[in-house]
């Protein structure tokens, strides 16, 4: 891997900005972010469709001569990462492998994510690569994303939904396999109990990249592109980036 | 309006099949249905994006030489119906006007729908056309669609969500302004009370078309197209069509 000044990051929507937040904190790279809000969510769609969208997103980022691509979306990482690595001649980082590597240190692991992420079995396969003896259970939680987008983060209803999804899961560590889920960390921890380690897939990715820290440079600039309303992107996105921002540009990938 | 043998129907997903169910029951027309599942939902997206998708959907249906187009999606009807009517030289029917016409007979009306449908103000505008004195309140209910798609139709959690959205609404009639909402009719009626008339926008559309009943003919054939997984379309779609079906074909509109 060469010097990395400009990183291209894509996600189905604004959730990946939580990964950007951590990237900006850890490194000084410049970032081009693409949120494919006109076609979100990815997590309910077929792998063929998610693969097509992921390639289009990566092709858009390539126009900026990025030095590396980060796939901040768990669903896109689950189904597209190998194809993207083969197709594009630059480093491509996804959120599955780093979280799987961390989780593999535990005996019993649960993975929660979108329907497509869970159906892909990407996490169990990667965990087995690091620890064949690790017992992995998976659970799709389709309502978590709309609940977060509704802003019901610390809500009794969200707690009831979390109980419904998670009550019977037993594990030492739980992978939050979707960029929206860290916002529900408090409720999920309450349901799972304090003894369960929560693994944030975006956090794990940035932690992993720190091994290459010396390769990153830049001035910490962020440029955002969206395929739907710029205004809505900036408004919802600030929840994930942890601060207000503007200058979002509209792009048509269809 | 001339003889109508082949009707083209589109929706963002499978919800419009509840309209198809009623069309098939009322008339003997043949139907081409397009569910744009690769880009759903429409209800959270900007009017520019929904308009673009609606035009592409209608163009697809035009390839079959349909005699009329039914826009079964409330969001698409809200933002695109006038453009579609101007752009295509055939009758285009949406779900807003017939429900608005029915609702206008009441004094106090509430409209529930997706964020985009509510923001468009399509319902209040159309109701005012028929009854300027009618008092209209609107409420977006973004979680209803994912709750229906999760299958939590008669669920305590869904009831709590409905209470949260609707508890303070007072009206004589409530428009179910989204094709998914009729599946929650029981819970919504429980929250609103038995004195409130629920108006199903798809039902209202088919009722309105009955004035032209003599113009419809055909053999009641249904052909479905989807932009994402055929299998998932057939599985989820049967909930709306009220029976199993197959032979769904994949189409790429992107």
pLDDT score, position B217: 87
H/E run at residue B78: helix B74-87
Burial class (CB in 10 A: 0-12, 13-18, 19+), B250: middle
Residue with structure tokens 């369960």?
A: A196
Q: B70 and B140 share a domain?
A: no
Residues with Cβ within 8 Å of A247's Cβ and at least 6 positions away in sequence, in order, are A223, A224
Q: Is the pLDDT of residue A111 over 90?
A: yes
The tally of domains found in chain B comes to: 2
Residue with structure tokens 């003896």? A133
Q: Same domain for B89 and B101?
A: no
pLDDT digits 0-9 by tens, A44-79: 999 999 999 999 999 999 999 999 999 999 999 999
Distance from CA of B105 to the nearest CA of A (A): 33
Q: Are residues B52 and B123 both part of a single domain?
A: no
Is the Cβ pair A143, B142 closer than 8 Å?
no
Rounded distance between C-alpha atoms, residue A134 and residue A121, angstroms = 14
Whole-number percent of chain B with pLDDT over 70: 100
Residue A197 lies in a domain: yes
pLDDT tens across B150-200, in order? Answer: 999 999 999 999 999 999 999 999 999 999 999 999 999 999 999 999 999
In a domain? residue A1:
no
Which of B183, B201, B219 lies at the terminal end of a domain, its last residue? B201
Q: Is A180 annotated as a binding residue?
A: yes
A111 inside domain: yes
Helix (H, G, I), strand (E, B) or coil at B28: coil
User: Is residue B114 annotated as involved in ligand binding?
Assistant: no
Q: Is the pTM of this model over 0.90?
A: yes
B230 plus B217 within the same structural domain: yes
Smallest CA–CA distance from B251 into chain A, residue:
A49
Which residues does A131 contact at the CB level (< 8 Å), separation at least 6? Answer: A104, A105
Between CA B34 and CA B62 the distance in angstroms is: 11
Question: What is the rounded distance in angstroms from the CA atom of residue A53 to the CA atom of residue A35?
Answer: 11
Beta bridge partners of B34: B10, B225
The answer to whether residues B120 and B193 belong to one domain is yes
Do B110 and B195 fall within a single domain? yes
User: B139 and B209, same structural domain?
Assistant: no
Choose one of A177, A201, A225: the last residue of a domain.
A201
ipTM of the complex, rounded to two decimals? 0.95
Based on the fold, state whether residues B103 and B41 are members of the same structural domain. no
CATH number of the domain that residue A126 is part of: 3.40.50.1860
Buried residues in A137-172 as b, exposed as e (16+ CB within 10 A)? ebebbbbbbbbbbbebeeeebbbbbbebbbeebebb
Question: What burial letters (b/e) apply to B154-190, b meaning 16+ CB within 10 Å?
Answer: eeebbbbbbebbbeebebbbbbbbbbbbbbbeebbee
Torsion on CA atoms B186, B189, B191, B197, rounded to nearest 10: 170
pLDDT at A132: 97
Of B36, B48, B108, residue with least CA distance to B83: B48
Please check whether residues B211 and B90 belong to one and the same domain: yes
B64 and B184 in a single domain? The answer is no
Residue of chain B whose alpha carbon sits nearest to that of A52: B254
Is any Cβ of chain B less than 8 angstroms from the Cβ of A254? yes
In which domain, by residue range, is B63 found?
6-94+205-250
Residue showing tokens 């997706």:
B114
Judge whether B1 lies within some domain: no
Q: What is the pLDDT of residue B2?
A: 77
Residue A181 lies in a domain: yes
Q: Nearest CB to A142: which of B52, B146, B157?
A: B146
Q: Which residue does chain B place closest to A158, by CA atoms?
A: B157
* Same structural domain, A44 and A111: no
Q: What is the pLDDT of residue A154?
A: 96
Q: Name every chain B residue with its beta carbon within 8 A of the beta carbon of A142.
A: 146, 149-150
- Same domain? For B154 and B183 the reply is yes
């Amino acid at each position: 891997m060469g010097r990395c000044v400009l990183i291209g990051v894509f996600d189905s929507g604004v959730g990946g900005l939580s990964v950007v937040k951590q990237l900006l904190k850890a490194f000084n790279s410049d970032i081009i972010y693409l949120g494919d809000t006109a076609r979100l969510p990815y997590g309910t769609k077929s792998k063929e469709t998610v693969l097509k969208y992921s390639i289009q997103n990566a092709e858009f980022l390539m126009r900026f001569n990025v030095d590396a691509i980060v796939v901040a979306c768990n669903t896109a990482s689950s189904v597209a990462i190998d194809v993207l690595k083969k197709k594009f001649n630059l480093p491509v980082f996804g959120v599955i492998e780093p979280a799987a590597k961390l989780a593999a240190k535990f005996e019993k692991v649960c993975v929660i994510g979108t329907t497509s992420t869970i159906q892909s079995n990407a996490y169990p396969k990667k965990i087995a690569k690091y620890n064949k003896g690790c017992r992995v259970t998976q659970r799709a939680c389709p309502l978590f994303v709309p609940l977060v987008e509704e802003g019901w983060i610390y809500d009794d209803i969200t707690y009831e939904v979390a109980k419904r999804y998670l009550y019977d899961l037993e594990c030492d560590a739980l992978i939050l396999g979707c960029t929206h889920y860290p916002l529900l960390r408090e409720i999920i921890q309450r349901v799972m109990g304090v003894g369960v380690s929560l693994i944030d897939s975006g956090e794990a990715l940035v932690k992993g990249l720190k091994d290459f820290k010396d390769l990153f440079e830049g001035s910490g600039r962020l440029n955002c592109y969206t395929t739907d309303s710029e205004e809505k992107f900036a408004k919802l996105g600030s929840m994930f980036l942890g601060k207000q921002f503007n200058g979002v540009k509209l792009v048509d990938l269809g």
